[in-house]
Amino acid sequence: MGVIQNVLAVIVVLGLLITFHEFGHFWVARRCGVKVLRFSVGFGKPLWSRFDRHGTEFAVAAIPLGGYVKMLDEREAPVAPEEQHLAFNRKNVWARIAIVVAGPLANFLLAVVAYWLLFVVGTTSVAPVIGEVAPDSPAARAGLSSGQEITAIQGDRTRTWEDVNLELISRIGLDGTLEVAAREGEASEARTYRVQVSDWLARQDPPQPLETLGVIPWRPDIPPVLGQVLEGEAAAQAGLEPGDRIVAVDGQSLDTWTAFVEVVRERPGERLSLRIERDGEVRELDLTPGRREAQGDPIGYIGAGVETVSWPEEYRREIRYGALASVGRSLARTADMTVLTLDSIRKMFVGLISPSNLSGPITIARIAGDTARSGLESFIGFMAYLSISLGVLNLLPIPVLDGGHLLYYLIEAARGRPVSEAAQAVGFRIGLALVGTLMLMALYFDLMRL
């Protein structure tokens, strides 16, 4: 069931993002007087298609990993004399630039709308309150302590742990002082703590900002009660069900979910004797955790999740703005995430971020499924970030991408004449090889994560 949900979630996400991207090209092409022959969501053989009154074919194809807008173009096929004024290649360079840029801009617009919706409806998140500070860690040496709430990183406000993580990750490669503002309680004034760092998070795979800082988030005591059990995994095979409370493992009593997780992770492939409580009755079960790799070390897993617990009100942060204020907030969030994406690409090229952080369709499907199960709020947030990533990647100056075409047209605008077809053909081959290599690398790292 989990795999099916992941597949359905990624089809919905990619289908929506691709449709918006291609609609951007389509809408501007129509307004620039270019005839659109086909608007396809997906590649390969069409599963469904229809024609509109302008002669454009709208199609949904079998492979949902992309899409395209095919326009009338004399470089691809002969064009009747009476339709030559409708050909893409006959339009002036600024019209062609507008058509090319419209796809990525549509993705940024979709992200703005998604963030606006989240800000208007409101989201509830967990306050970034420190639970523990690891001894002799950067946070401990700076003077941070348990119970403090982190209010800012390098002067940028942080209201949730998501904000804290994004601010810390955006500083990858920092040498020097990381300024962390924290307060003892809501009524107290924040104090700035100066954390000394060197090559902050550089080349970590994956980056673990909180662990590196030495901060463990505060969490309520979570009882060892199962909230979900995945079909076909070790927990289901052992007969565990949602609602079961783990009382003891191998005769050792357990009080928290964390203690149970630690036992499972430390004993992959070993039989565990469980005592559980179900519907007021105590039962005995045998459970053998599966095995997977995490940073080169084997860990156990059982394919089960914990039952959700309520957080105390003082640790919850509700983020909501009015419809007008949300416009500015959504534009700012989209801009921040765009800058973070571009900076991450730059740092990957200079070696500060490991290429193994590249993600392909498998990881996207897994995250899409996880966020869909977490709720509409998480799903929309993930979709917004993925839309920004798609927009940024398409604007990179790589031939075969929108950014490559944009580069050619900007050169044409500056020189007053087009880039030669021979040069474009060479660039196309280089771009195709580069994009193909990146896709293979992303798929390889996806498989390694499995």
Task: State pLDDT tens for residues 298-317.
Answer: 888 899 988 888 888 888 88
Using the predicted structure, report yes or no on whether residue 205 has a pLDDT greater than 70: yes
Span of 204-208, 242-246, 316-320 with lowest mean pLDDT: 204-208
Span of 71-85, 222-236, 285-299, 317-331 with lowest mean pLDDT: 285-299
Q: Out of 22, 179, 189, 233, which one is annotated catalytic?
A: 22
Average pLDDT, the chain: 89
Q: What is the pLDDT of residue 296?
A: 66
Query: Residue 206, preceding bond cis, omega within 30 degrees?
Result: yes
**Residue 296 or residue 113, greater confidence:** 113
Query: Could you tell me if 116 and 327 are in contact, meaning their C-beta atoms sit under 8 angstroms apart?
Result: yes
Using the predicted structure, report yes or no on whether residue 289 has a pLDDT greater than 70: yes
Token pair of 80 as six digits: 């009747």
Q: What is the pLDDT of residue 291?
A: 86
Ramachandran region, residue 96 (left: φ > 0; alpha: ψ -120 to 50; beta: rest): alpha
- The secondary structure of the chain in percent helix, strand, coil, rounded to multiples of 5, reads 45, 25, 30
Q: What is the pLDDT of residue 450?
A: 62
Span of 137-141, 189-193, 306-310, 336-340 with lowest mean pLDDT: 306-310
CA distance 222 to 299: 21
**Residue 338 or residue 445, greater confidence:** 338
Average pLDDT over residues 340-359: 85
Query: Could you tell me if 134 and 140 are in contact, meaning their C-beta atoms sit under 8 angstroms apart?
Result: yes
Average pLDDT over residues 213-231: 89
pLDDT band at 293 (very low <50, low <70, confident <90, very high): confident
**Residue 402 or residue 124, greater confidence:** 402
Radius of gyration, CA atoms only, the chain: 26
pLDDT band at 387 (very low <50, low <70, confident <90, very high): very high
Q: What is the pLDDT of residue 358?
A: 78
Average pLDDT over residues 203-225: 88
Using the predicted structure, report yes or no on whether residue 1 has a pLDDT greater than 60: no
Count other C-beta atoms under 10 Å from residue 349's C-beta. 10
User: What is the share, in percent, of the chain residues with pLDDT greater than 70?
Assistant: 97
Average pLDDT over residues 86-92: 94
Using the predicted structure, report yes or no on whether residue 431 has a pLDDT greater than 70: yes
Strand ranges, E, within 147-296: 149-153, 156-157, 176-183, 191-197, 215-217, 226-229, 245-249, 252-253, 272-278, 281-287, 290-294
Using the predicted structure, report yes or no on whether residue 151 has a pLDDT greater than 70: yes
Q: What is the pLDDT of residue 435?
A: 87
pLDDT band at 254 (very low <50, low <70, confident <90, very high): confident
Query: Could you tell me if 209 and 168 are in contact, meaning their C-beta atoms sit under 8 angstroms apart?
Result: yes
Span of 249-253, 354-358, 404-408, 421-425 with lowest mean pLDDT: 354-358
Nearest in space to 167 (alpha carbons), one of 119, 135, 203, 128: 128
pLDDT band at 65 (very low <50, low <70, confident <90, very high): confident
Using the predicted structure, report yes or no on whether residue 292 has a pLDDT greater than 60: yes
CA distance 199 to 70: 47
Average pLDDT over residues 371-376: 73
Average pLDDT over residues 254-278: 91
Q: Which domains does the chain have, with CATH numbers?
A: 125-220+310-319 (2.30.42.10), 226-307 (2.30.42.10)
Active site residue 231: no
Report the SS3 class of residue 442.
helix
Catalogue the long-range contacts made by 157-164 (C-beta closer than 8 Å, 24 or more residues apart): 158/128, 159/125, 159/127, 159/128, 159/317, 159/319, 160/125, 160/126, 160/127, 160/128, 160/317, 160/319, 161/125, 161/126, 161/128, 161/210, 161/217, 162/125, 163/128, 164/128, 164/209, 164/210
User: What is the share, in percent, of the chain residues with pLDDT greater than 90?
Assistant: 60
pLDDT band at 2 (very low <50, low <70, confident <90, very high): low
pTM: 0.81
Span of 35-39, 52-56, 278-282, 374-378 with lowest mean pLDDT: 374-378
